[in-house]
Amino acid sequence: MIEVGRLSKRYGAVLAVDAVSFSVGRGEIVGLLGPNGAGKTTTMRILTTFLAPTSGRAALAGHDVLDEPLEVRRHVGYLPENVPLYTEMRVREFLNFRAKLKDVPRSKRKGAIGHVLERCRLEDVADRILGQLSKGYRQRVGLADALVHDPEILILDEPTAGLDPIQIREVRALIRELGDKHTILLSTHIMSEVEAVCGRVIIIARGRIALDDQLERLQSERTIVLEARGPSDVIQGALETAPGVARVILKGREDGCASFEILARNGADLREALAQRVAQNGWPLRRLDRKHTTLEDRFIQAVTAEAKAGEREREAV
pLDDT for position 317? 66
Per residue, the 3-state secondary structure of 54-95, as one string, reads CEEEEEECCEECCCCHHHHHHHEEEECCCCCCCCCCEHHHHH
Low-confidence ranges of the chain (pLDDT < 70): 317
pTM score, whole prediction = 0.81
Q: What is the pLDDT of residues 197-222, one digit of tens each?
A: 999 999 999 999 999 999 888 877 77
Of 110, 171, 113, 165, give the one whose Cα is nearest residue 140: 171
Q: What number of other Cβ atoms are within 10 A of residue 93's Cβ?
A: 16
Cβ pair 227, 287 in contact under 8 A = yes
Could you tell me the domains of the chain? Answer: 2-215 (3.40.50.300), 222-292 (3.30.70.3100)
The pLDDT value recorded for residue 299 is: 87
